[in-house]
Amino acid sequence: METGEKTLRDITGALEDFKKELPKYGWFPGPGESLEWWAGYRDPFHIAVTAVLVKLSRWEQADATLRRLTSMGLGEPRALANASLELVEGALKSVSLWRSKAQTLKELSKLFLSHDLAREDVREGRRLLLNVHGVGYETADSILLFAFNKSTMPVSRQTLRILGRVGLKLGASYERVRLGILESLGGDVYMLKLLHSSMTVIARVYCKAKATKCGSCPLKRACNHALETSQGRIIVES
């Protein structure tokens, strides 16, 4: 394959093949409308809570913290909204930014009580979520896509790194990349979930910031970086 300008469609076949590997890493592919993509969860509130908790933390810590909150009776919006801030902070101490995230979770719970995000369109859902202290674009888009099946895309650093190395030119700002991906995939929720979950795993296993394992990466046949390195540059395997 020649290097050159790519489109997302150049990698969707590879992602479809890679899908069977995702459960090993905590993603459970199903139909587009399935909530279980996100760690097998079925409760939109649990998806939203862990989307907040996982920021700058390991997934295992976020999942364990959700289980701790649930065992304390705080696994649903009303109980968490009514709990004291000190109690919530105490439950969050194993994740980073626990004080700030405790406040975020209480505000998020109040939003779940005051609005049915399933009934909001993407624009309004984003506006409401971004008004919550500590919720940024990536978290808001993760919640809307995985908890409410809304057609939007969380654009992570990892996604930017991989798509940049593959050779996709999607733009410089978060919003331009998000809209470019939505346009390329026709806003299809199944494809958006497949792309985000696959990017997360590929970044963790094959395409790290300082070392790549191109030889075993599912994107190697479509990737400009892999082709260039196989033509004489050094591939750093970790």
Q: How far is the CB of 10 from ligand SF4 (least distance, A)?
A: 12
Which CB atom, from 91 or from 219, has the smaller least distance to ligand SF4?
219
Provide the 3-class DSSP secondary structure of residue 119.
helix
Which CB atom, from 101 or from 220, has the smaller least distance to ligand SF4?
220
Which CB atom, from 17 or from 60, has the smaller least distance to ligand SF4?
17
- HSE value, Cβ hemisphere, 13 Å, CA-based, for 130: 10
Q: How far is the CB of 224 from ligand SF4 (least distance, A)?
A: 8
Q: Is the dihedral of CA 172, 175, 181, 184 positive or negative?
A: negative
Q: How far is the CB of 15 from ligand SF4 (least distance, A)?
A: 11
Task: Pick one of 57, 62, 212, 228: the residue that binds ligand SF4 (CB under 6 A).
Answer: 212
Q: How far is the CB of 24 from ligand SF4 (least distance, A)?
A: 17
| Phi-psi group of 152: left, alpha or beta (phi > 0 → left; psi -120 to 50 → alpha; rest → beta) | beta
Token duo for residue 171? 């733009």
Q: Which of 93, 47, 45 is nearest to 68 (CA)?
A: 93
Report whether 156 contacts 170 (CB < 8 A): no
Which CB atom, from 9 or from 99, has the smaller least distance to ligand SF4?
9
Report whether 222 contacts 11 (CB < 8 A): yes
Using CB under 6 A, which of the segments 136-144, 174-182, 185-193, 211-219 binds ligand SF4? 211-219
Residues from 150 through 189 that contact ligand SF4 (CB under 6 A): 162, 165-166
Which CB atom, from 57 or from 159, has the smaller least distance to ligand SF4?
159
Tell me if 219 contacts ligand SF4 by CB under 6 A.
Answer: yes
Tell me if 83 contacts ligand SF4 by CB under 6 A.
Answer: no
Buried b (16+ CB within 10 A) or exposed e, 6-21: bebebbbebbeebeee
Backbone angles phi, psi at 142, to 5 degrees: -65, -45
What is the Cα–Cα distance from 49 to 58, expressed in whole angstroms? 14
Tell me if 207 contacts ligand SF4 by CB under 6 A.
Answer: yes
Q: Please work out the total of residues on this chain that contact ligand SF4, with binding judged by CB under 6 A.
A: 14
Tell me if 206 contacts ligand SF4 by CB under 6 A.
Answer: yes
Report whether 153 contacts 193 (CB < 8 A): no
Buried b (16+ CB within 10 A) or exposed e, 187-204: eebbbbbbbbbbbbbbbe
Tell me if 225 contacts ligand SF4 by CB under 6 A.
Answer: yes
Token duo for residue 195? 């792309």
Tell me if 217 contacts ligand SF4 by CB under 6 A.
Answer: yes
Q: How far is the CB of 172 from ligand SF4 (least distance, A)?
A: 20
- Residue numbers of the site for ligand SF4 (CB under 6 A)? 162, 165-166, 206-207, 212-214, 217, 219-220, 223, 225-226
